Amino acid sequence: MKALKFFMPTIVVALFIFSACQKENSASQISGRGTLTGKLNEVSASESQGTDHVRWDIISLTASPLTARAGGVAFASAITGSSLSPDWKIKFTGSGTFVAPTSGGGSGAVTGGGTWETFSGGVSSGSGTYTVTKLASWVFANLQLPVLNNLIASPDQVAANGTAVLVIEYSDGSQGTLGVGCHGPGAPNGIEEGVIATKGYVTYWTGEVPGALTVDKNRTLFNIRKKDSK
């Protein structure tokens, strides 16, 4: 999967806005700790029409054959002023689900979470878990070309490219956002593969480039429910 340098401007704007108002906890919050043991929040038949049902994962990707599995890691770095601070990093694992309007808006119908760890000067400065409390934004790009051995998708799902912004709560009490971008096979230009984030006032807005397939990190995957599935 190739990576580009920046998320679409709308994703950066969404991260900034939602990091300022993230103290509101959704009534539909479900704790996940990186698993999918919880079900999707119940949505009535009328509400579910015109929605996307999506699973997101920070994945482990291997080559020969190209195979996606759950359970990967991804990093993002902070910038101090106008200078990149590569030693200020955050690491995530995680997965979850959300139901979102196909128009690309937000939703409280979410599950999931994972683990986090921050680094300062190359030394771990904190760690714990996080829970997704709300979907701030979901923008579907297109369906992926069927070249990936996808061990995550259920029979009624298909891999998709796009971007999502999730509002999250960290186990140390801080609030933040997690931006997830998937630039998989057949994706249009402009999507960064990997994650960006905020934690409190710190903005980890520089996603780490995935690099060669021999380096197993900084990759994500969306699996979206097929429109003809019920």
Per-residue pLDDT at 211 = 87
Is the CB of residue 184 less than 8 Å from the CB of residue 144? yes
Of 64, 48, 44, 61, the C-alpha closest to 2 is 61
pTM of the model: 0.79
How far apart are the C-alpha atoms of 111 and 63, rounded to whole Å? 30
Give CA–CA dist 155/140, Å, rounded. Answer: 20
Handedness of CA 63, 68, 71, 74 (dihedral sign): positive
Evaluate whether 114 touches 32 at the Cβ level (below 8 Å): yes
Q: Please give the DSSP secondary-structure letter assigned to residue 127.
A: E
Q: What is the mean pLDDT of residues 35-61?
A: 63
Indicate whether 12 pLDDT > 50.
no
Given a cut of 80, whether residue 219 has pLDDT beyond it is: yes
**Distance (Å, rounded) from C-alpha 220 to C-alpha 57?**
6
Q: What is the pLDDT of residue 81?
A: 73
Q: Is the dihedral of CA 183, 215, 132, 20 positive or negative?
A: negative
User: In whole angstroms, what is the distance from residue 96 CA to residue 86 CA?
Assistant: 28
The stretch 102-125 carries a mean pLDDT of: 91
pLDDT tens digit sequence for 181-211: 999 999 999 999 999 999 999 999 999 999 8
Phi, psi of 175 (to 5 degrees): -110, 160
